[in-house]
Copies of this chain bind each other. A is one copy, B any other.
Amino acid sequence: MTIIETPSAAAELLKKQDNILILVHGHPDGDTLGCGYSLCRALRAMGKKANVSCSDEIPHKFDYLLKGVDEQSFEPEFITAVDVADTKLLGKKNEELFKDRIDLSIDHHPSNKFFAKSTIVDAKAAAASEVVLQVIRELGQEVTPEIANGIYTGLSTDTGCFRYSNVTPRTLRMAAEMIEAGADNAAINTVMFETKTKSYAALERECLANMQMLFDDRCAMITITQDIFDKTGSDESECDGIAALPRQVEGVLIGITMREKPDGNFKVSLRTHAPIDASELCSKMGGGGHARAAGCQLEGPLENARKVLMKNLKDFFDSENE
């Protein structure tokens, strides 16, 4: 296991390779897809064969990222994962196929598990796209409008459109550069931040209707059961936006979303306000993530998952009061 310190060293590694498979994480978001497809385009522009692979279906709102990147036929010789902190996050298919074979991990999660032979992690990057952009430049590749769209998508979606505390001056400057390189920022923002699918709108309505205030209104919690997914015609891929809602209520320090997986267990997403460390809280329940956004898995049924969560929240608030 090698830690790579600079984007140029990561680029040197890629330059030597061909037939490169790029893995994005399951339930793909704008950052992992932006990284994956932008890097794929850059590698192909160098004459290399490269594909992007995702265990799960890619939501249609990301169609513009994939356009023109048809699957190439080759046997992978070098495997890189982008925006993937842990092989568990690859999703079932790619975890089974590739978990022990990953050559390079390009990431920004401080919780990266160093599962790859070589890893570059920039925990100060708001999005993995910040790291991938630097790698693409070190590859000597032009940032085409398509690549710019991918990187811009990663920068904007991982920061709530430059809203969150992870934004740095570099994030904003890179976004400026992507617009200059041809990224269609306004159109991307409309799709990502101003449009709700009908199923998402229905899901949001159900979630707000069942939002509970807990611990003297310091927590707000949304619960999404499989019944709610069925009733609204929505699915897990639409939960990212939901996870942001509970923390938005004035006075709430910890926003919680519990969603039931098809197997009856629960995925918990925490969003906190400073100084509460979401990652630390989730690590006590076997999970991890960032300081203000983290997650964990809890065993179902709902009553059980809730019990574990409530116990951990109570312990947290009790220790705060000491």
Contacts and interface: CB of A to CB of B under 8 A. Distances in A.
Interface of A: 160-165, 167-170, 172-173, 175-177, 179-180, 185-186, 189-190, 193-198, 201, 204-205, 208-209, 211, 217, 247-251, 273-274
A170 B196 CA distance: 29
Contacts of A175: 162, 172
A176 B172 contact: yes
A317 to B, nearest CB: 19
B176 A198 contact: no
Contacts of A163: 161, 189, 193-194
B173 A176 contact: yes
A160 B300 CA distance: 39
Nearest to A165: B186
A48 B311 CA distance: 59
A190 B249 CA distance: 11
Nearest to A173: B176
15 contacts: A161-B162, A161-B163, A167-B185, A169-B176, A173-B176, A186-B274, A194-B247, A196-B248, A196-B249, A197-B250, A198-B217, A198-B249, A201-B208, A201-B250, A205-B211
Given A195-B250, A201-B208, 17 more contacts: A160-B194, A162-B172, A163-B194, A165-B185, A165-B186, A169-B177, A169-B179, A169-B180, A172-B173, A172-B175, A176-B176, A195-B248, A197-B250, A198-B250, A201-B211, A205-B208, A205-B211
